[in-house]
């Protein structure tokens, strides 16, 4: 009986060998599956890329949006970035678009841009705090635009408003 107890058990290997064998099998299955899926999908990607290259070049989305906006009488002003009057270490950034009645006038839009920039430099942080302060700022800018454009601008649209 002592001889039977000393003999190693047959049929079971070391746990380390079994784990390595399992990893090798999983790696082979994963690689084969990836190769199979790649051969099925790759031709579709190549034909789609070829179709994109042969398609006529259309204007980019930003250019289309700008052209469509100008056709409708909307002019987007350059971003206005300046410091506030008080506290002077705070900055404000505005992106504004103007809706013209009739054809847009670029020279008038530039004059309005400079007028808004000069006005924003005189505003303090306390004046534009909260939703009511923002509404006052919008009303003040709309009033300045109305005076400068003599009624040729129907609407002032705020695209962004950031205070740092």
The reported pLDDT for the residue numbered 48 is 64
With 70 as the cut, is the pLDDT of residue 86 above it? Answer: yes
The reported pLDDT for the residue numbered 66 is 61
The verdict on residue 1 lying in a domain is no
Give residue for tokens 């999908």. Answer: 41
* Domain span holding position 33: 12-57
Report the number of distinct structural domains present in the chain. Answer: 2
Percent with pLDDT over 90 in the chain: 54
Q: What is the CATH number of the domain that holds 89?
A: 3.30.479.30
The verdict on residue 7 lying in a domain is no
Same domain, 68 and 121: yes
Instruction: Centre a 10 Å sphere on the Cβ of residue 12 and count the other Cβ atoms it contains.
Output: 9
Q: Is the pTM of this model over 0.75?
A: no
Work out the mean pLDDT of the chain and round it to a whole number.
Answer: 83
Instruction: Centre a 10 Å sphere on the Cβ of residue 86 and count the other Cβ atoms it contains.
Output: 13
Same domain, 98 and 17: no
Same domain, 50 and 121: no
The verdict on residue 87 lying in a domain is yes
The reported pLDDT for the residue numbered 53 is 64
The reported pLDDT for the residue numbered 125 is 92
Q: Round to whole Å and give the CA distance between 156 and 139.
A: 10
Kindly report, residue by residue over 100-156, the tens digit of the pLDDT: 998 888 999 999 999 999 999 999 999 999 899 999 999 999 999 999 999 899 999
The verdict on residue 4 lying in a domain is no
Whether the CB-CB separation of 105 and 136 falls below 8 Å is answered with: no
Helical spans, DSSP H, in the chain? 2-6, 15-54, 61-71, 106-120, 130-149
Q: Round to whole Å and give the CA distance between 116 and 131.
A: 20
């Amino acid at each position: 009986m002592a001889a039977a107890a000393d003999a190693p058990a047959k049929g079971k290997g070391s746990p380390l060998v079994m784990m390595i064998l399992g990893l090798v099998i999983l790696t082979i299955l994963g690689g084969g599956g990836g190769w199979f899926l790649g051969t099925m999908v790759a031709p579709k990607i190549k034909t789609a890329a070829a179709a994109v290259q042969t398609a006529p070049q259309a204007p980019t989305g930003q250019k289309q949006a700008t052209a469509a906006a100008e056709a409708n009488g909307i002019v987007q002003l350059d971003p206005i970035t300046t410091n506030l009057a008080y506290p002077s270490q705070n900055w404000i950034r505005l992106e504004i678009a103007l809706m013209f009645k009739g054809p847009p006038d670029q020279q008038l839009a530039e004059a309005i841009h400079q007028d808004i920039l000069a006005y924003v430099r005189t505003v303090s942080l306390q004046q534009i705090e909260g939703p009511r302060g923002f509404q006052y700022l919008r009303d003040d800018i709309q009033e300045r635009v109305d005076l400068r454009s003599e009624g040729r601008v129907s609407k002032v649209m705020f695209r962004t408003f950031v205070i740092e």
